[in-house]
Structure 1
Amino acid sequence: MSTWLDQVFCEDALAGLHRIPDGSIDLILTDPPYNLGKDYGNASDQQPVDDFLAWTEQWVDAALPKLKENGSLYVFTTWRSAPEIFVMLKRRMTMINEIIWDRRVPSMGGTVRSFTSVHDTIGFFVRRKDYYFNLDAVRIPYDAETKKARSRSIFVGAKWLEQGYNPKDLWSVSRLHRQHAERVDHPTQKPLEIIERMVKASCPPGGVVLDLFMGSGTTAVAARNTGRHFTGFELNPDYCRILAERLDQLAVEPQEPDPKVRPKRPASPPAAGQQGSDPKARAKGRVRAADPGSDPGFLVTPPAAPARKRATRKPKSKVVAAPTSVDSPE
């Protein structure tokens, strides 16, 4: 059994990369320090510019031999360092994309001597032309209105219309606010949505993702969530504990449904005379009526038209079920 697979080592990546065999990694996905003076519990983000660029070149040269020939590399950086880092990488690999992550920073306050920086830059590089890339795994579904607008015969059966569109190279995904359920105690934690997109697109199922600067462990969580293996390094012991806790929470994985077992049929809806008898159900119905989009299984019914009076004939006596105040399921 491998001693490095699905492991995060609490040590400097340059000291520990010897653990990983050459040519064993499908995807290097990493978020190194940007050299902006952040406090990661060490001085890794507080170097002179020349030293920072030399250090970046050092870890790149140490990591690339671990990558398979058809492997890929994604690296986060800032616009301040992206030109130098990308030129250095283009001497070693082929650049496929410069991805802009729009962090959706609100337009409040900020600098008054320049335009406010609201994005991070991500470089996507490969070793050779037959690199692994699965666009279908990360397509974004079209909404119902867009599909309806493309209902002409020329669009019928179009794969892109059914499966969704290419995410393109501008990713508008909100940064993790302190109140976000996903957020942990790390100053530059990246959203899981972004990391999972990279993993699903550029690492085959069952493949291996390497992150040299694990931080809060989002790369490892994304790999485990999507059926990939991971390995990597993190120098700060506090972050090592955080990422270990995040992985422990994923230890009990949900069972995949057995295709041979037929699912149980849903229970029949209550009879008309029984609907609306439960106050909790009535309250739930009011919530759904207020926001029908929150539960597509329920529709909002318009109020019934007032009954017309009959002038001559007297209606026969019969029992009529009280009108329900709960929306009926589709």
Structure 2
Amino acid sequence: MSGDWINRVFGEDALQGLQRIPDGSVDLLLADPPYGLGKDYGNDSDKLDTAAYLQWTEEWIDAALPKLKSNGSLYIFLTWRFSPEIFVMLKQRMTMINEIIWDRRVPSMGGGTRRFSSVHDTIGFFARAKDYHFDLDAIRIPYDAETKKARSRSIFVGAKWLELGYNPKDVWSVSRLHREHRERADHPTQKPLEIVERMIKASCPPGGVVLDPFMGSGTTAVAARRCGRNFVGFELNPEYCALIERRLAQLDAKKPDERVRA
């Protein structure tokens, strides 16, 4: 694929960097922006007040959406604190397909005493048009042998859904990356490959392009390469840019059958 912006992570602000990308050239926009919770990403990007945060969100959304192809899609990670406002903002621009709840499998310890403990992230799945790309077969979850055996009546024989597996639900129970997790890099809000790869395999065709405006630890880039897709993204923190390069180099050093998950 041509273009000097393909398979690169630029060390710059997304609002400026998005100008590098031609309109209508991206299959999937996968965004994990700062949540507005005051996290330390080596800069002040997550320290805006509510009004400024929502204004900034609208600015980057309006800069990023034109980069999508007509049948492109968007996944956006959010916290419950701002997902209602941002979902409304996006619904004025796209069609909402799903609200996905990521159950982070947080242990039942600690938490506040004046409210229920928050143990999930909210993910919005949006599409530009009715013919958006979605490959269900690529993400089906196989049934176990016992379930298949129980569906042995003749009406089930040869059923595609039984052989390939079922459609993932809109609650994804995937452990967060705790400090001892083998995937864990030095980043406070790193997302699991399992989640990002599911999004990419479902909503970006093989050889397509995934855009991540806030690369962070580079999970989107790593997942895209593992799945046979291209990527492009931006990251303000030079240390995270170096981390991404290391993760990609480590992946490229593996044998092809160890790094590709098409």
The TM-score range, normalised by the shorter chain, is: over 0.9
Q: Which residue of 2 is the match for residue 304 of structure 1?
A: none
CA deviations 1:199-253 (Å, max 9, x no partner) are: 0000000000000000000000010000000000000111111111000112235
Q: Which residue of 1 is the match for residue 217 of structure 2?
A: 216
User: How far apart, CA to CA, are the structure 2 residues paired with 1:66 and 1:94?
Assistant: 16
User: How far apart, CA to CA, are the structure 2 residues paired with 1:252 and 1:38?
Assistant: 32
Matched, 1:70 2:86: no
User: How far apart, CA to CA, are the structure 2 residues paired with 1:32 and 1:209?
Assistant: 15
Matched, 1:232 2:233: yes
Query: Per residue, is there more helix in 1 or in 2?
Result: 2
Q: Which residue of 2 is the match for residue 16 of structure 1?
A: 17
Larger relative CO (CA 8 A, sep 6+): 1 or 2?
Answer: 2
What amino acid does structure 2 have at the position aligned with 1:48?
D
Q: CA RMSD in A?
A: 0.9
Q: Which residue of 2 is the match for residue 25 of structure 1?
A: 26
1:168–1:118 distance in 2 versus 1, CA, 3 Å: same
Choose 1 or 2 for highest CA Rg.
Answer: 1
Q: Which residue of 2 is the match for residue 200 of structure 1?
A: 201
> What SS class does the counterpart of residue 250 from structure 1 fall into?
helix
Q: Which residue of 1 is the match for residue 184 of structure 2?
A: 183
For residue 255 of structure 1, report the CA deviation from its aligned partner.
Answer: 4.3
Q: Which residue of 2 is the match for residue 170 of structure 1?
A: 171
What amino acid does structure 1 have at the position aligned with 2:234?
F
> What SS class does the counterpart of residue 172 from structure 2 fall into?
strand
What amino acid does structure 2 have at the position aligned with 1:84?
E
1:255–1:245 distance in 2 versus 1, CA, 3 Å: closer
CA deviations 1:143-164 (Å, max 9, x no partner) are: 1111111112221111111100
Task: Please list, as runs of the form range in 1=range in 2, the aligned pairs for 1:228-307 lying within 5 A after superposition.
Answer: 228-252=229-253, 254-255=255-256
Q: Which residue of 1 is the match for residue 154 of structure 2?
A: 153
CA deviations 1:44-101 (Å, max 9, x no partner) are: 1111100000000000000011100000000000000000000000000000000000
> What SS class does the counterpart of residue 204 from structure 1 fall into?
coil
Give the total of aligned pairs: 256
What amino acid does structure 2 have at the position aligned with 1:194?
I
For residue 121 of structure 1, report the CA deviation from its aligned partner.
Answer: 0.3
For residue 254 of structure 1, report the CA deviation from its aligned partner.
Answer: 2.9
Q: Which residue of 2 is the match for residue 106 of structure 1?
A: 107
Extract unaligned runs of 5+ from structure 2.
258-262
Q: Which residue of 2 is the match for residue 47 of structure 1?
A: 48
Matched, 1:86 2:87: yes
More displaced stretch, 149-158 vs 16-25? 149-158
TM-score (norm 2): 0.96
What amino acid does structure 1 have at the position aligned with 2:6?
L
User: How far apart, CA to CA, are the structure 2 residues paired with 1:154 and 1:129?
Assistant: 32
User: How far apart, CA to CA, are the structure 2 residues paired with 1:128 and 1:85?
Assistant: 19
User: How far apart, CA to CA, are the structure 2 residues paired with 1:220 and 1:255?
Assistant: 16
Q: Which residue of 2 is the match for residue 133 of structure 1?
A: 134
Identity of aligned residues (%): 75
User: How far apart, CA to CA, are the structure 2 residues paired with 1:229 and 1:115?
Assistant: 40
